[in-house]
Amino acid sequence: AQIEKGNYRHYMQKEIFEQPLVVAQTLQSYVRPFDGKVALPDIDFDLSAVKRITIVACGTSFYAGMVAKYWFEQFARVPVDLDVASEFRYREPVLEPGGLALFISQSGETADTLAALRHARAEGQIIAVVVNVPTSSMAREADLLLPTHAGPEIGVASTKAFTCQLSVLAALAANLARAKGRMSEDEERAVVEHLREAPEAINNALGHDEDIAGIAHLVAPARDVLYLGRGPDYPMALEGALKLKEISYIHAEGYAAGEMKHGPIALIDDLVPVIVIAPSGPLFEKTVSNMQEVRARGGKIILISDAKGLADAGEGCMATIEMPEVHPLIAPLVYAVPVQLLAYHVAVAKGTDVDQPRNLAKSVTVE
Ligand code: G6P
């Protein structure tokens, strides 16, 4: 059946606004209502025996994997290797027999990711996949299928599939941590509780759509834009930059906030908007001090943070975008929204073809 845009101007916009619903839908299938614990599909291998995880994906799905690396290592203390699929095979990765290889893909058909999956299978890995299309090649070839329930995604730039991937990966991290004896039952329930707060928090973030549309006019004239973040917000900076590149054709770079002084700081002047993704929390102060380095060089800052963060560091910014205060675990799911909306509104302001950006394909089936 033809999927309608309804009252939305673009599929991408519709898909951004569907996120509270589809994230809730996805989480629902990974949480057991009767005891508030994570439920994974049945598996015929022992999760507690997993010693190493190899994550492979492309594009936005790769950035979901990058966030997951922080979670798997932090919660389950399982070391994670992470590769873009086009690099994975050719670097001759060391894969111990019985290791877990995790592939993340909206379409389940991306040629590089599928080839990487087959390589990992040939090397004796257990194959887990997070995919949005349950009938896809990757879904069929998996030992452990972890579906996202984002529904069909039409806009070429991925949005709702990404936040659904993060939801599944957070549930998997908690399950793995439990299996590894790194998380108590109460802690697992607390993780689930935080995840269940995500749809409401995403909804709150969507409430800032109009402010963000206003701010987009400050970004649209730029030639270069820099995104900065730390910890799990570093992949969000990369994702923000990717979204902007994909649909507005503005050159954008995502950088680890602390690494900026080793290069991109040379680019800073008053023509380069710098978007800082910094929820208040343990990493906030450090990111803010990197932000001050930008300001001292005349950089124009757009700070995305919560009320507490904005009260501490919002002064002197060109613009601020206020997010709800959330548990650090769900911050990437919530902060995805303003970077998606900003890219969307910049593209609309520039008059590009939002749903069908030039040179890009929804599903890349060549290597
Ligand atoms: C293409 C799309 C991106 C997507 C990437 C990976 O480049 O334009 O939006 O993130 O492929 O696709 P997948 O279906 O494997 O997640």
Task: Report whether 144 contacts 127 (CB < 8 A).
Answer: yes
DSSP-derived 3-state class of residue 321: strand
Can 362 be counted among the known catalytic residues?
A: yes
- Residue length of the chain: 367
Place of tokens 């991290």: 173
How remote is the CA of residue 360 from the centroid of ligand 1, in Å? Answer: 9
Q: Which atom of ligand 1 is nearest to the CA of 157?
A: 9
**pTM of the model as a whole:** 0.96
Distance CA 274, CA 276 (A): 6
Indicate the DSSP class of residue 257.
G
- In this prediction, residue 345 carries a pLDDT of 98
How many Cβ atoms from other residues are within 10 Å of residue 367's Cβ? 12
Nearest CA to ligand 1 atom 7: 59
- In this prediction, residue 2 carries a pLDDT of 67
Q: What is the DSSP string of 115-181?
A: HHHHHHHHTT-EEEEEES-TTSHHHHT-SEEEE-------SSS--HHHHHHHHHHHHHHHHHHHHTT
Residue 314 burial (10 A CB sphere; 0-12, 13-18, 19+): middle
Q: Which atom of ligand 1 is nearest to the CA of 58?
A: 6
ipTM: 0.97
Ligand 1 probe mutation, 86, 106, 358, most atoms within 8 A of CB: 106
Ligand 1 probe mutation, 107, 130, 239, most atoms within 8 A of CB: 107
Please give the backbone phi and psi of residue 228, each rounded to the nearest 5 degrees, phi first. -125, 140
- In this prediction, residue 366 carries a pLDDT of 84
Output helix, strand, coil percentages for the chain, rounded to the nearest 5.
50, 15, 35
Nearest CA to ligand 1 atom 5: 59
How many Cβ atoms from other residues are within 10 Å of residue 90's Cβ? 10
Residue 136: half-sphere exposure toward Cβ, Cα within 13 Å:
27
Choosing from 160, 180, 243, 362, the catalytic residue is 362
- In this prediction, residue 271 carries a pLDDT of 92
Q: Which atom of ligand 1 is nearest to the CA of 61?
A: 16
Sorted by sequence, the CB contacts under 8 Å of residue 4 that are 6+ apart come out as none
Tell me the mean pLDDT per 10 residues along the chain, length 367.
84 97 96 86 86 97 98 96 95 91 97 97 96 97 97 94 98 94 93 95 98 97 96 97 96 96 90 96 94 92 98 96 96 98 98 90 86
Helical spans, DSSP H, in 223-268: 233-248
How remote is the CA of residue 363 from the centroid of ligand 1, in Å? Answer: 6
Residues with CB under 6 A from ligand 1: 58-61, 105-107, 110, 113, 156-158, 360, 362-364
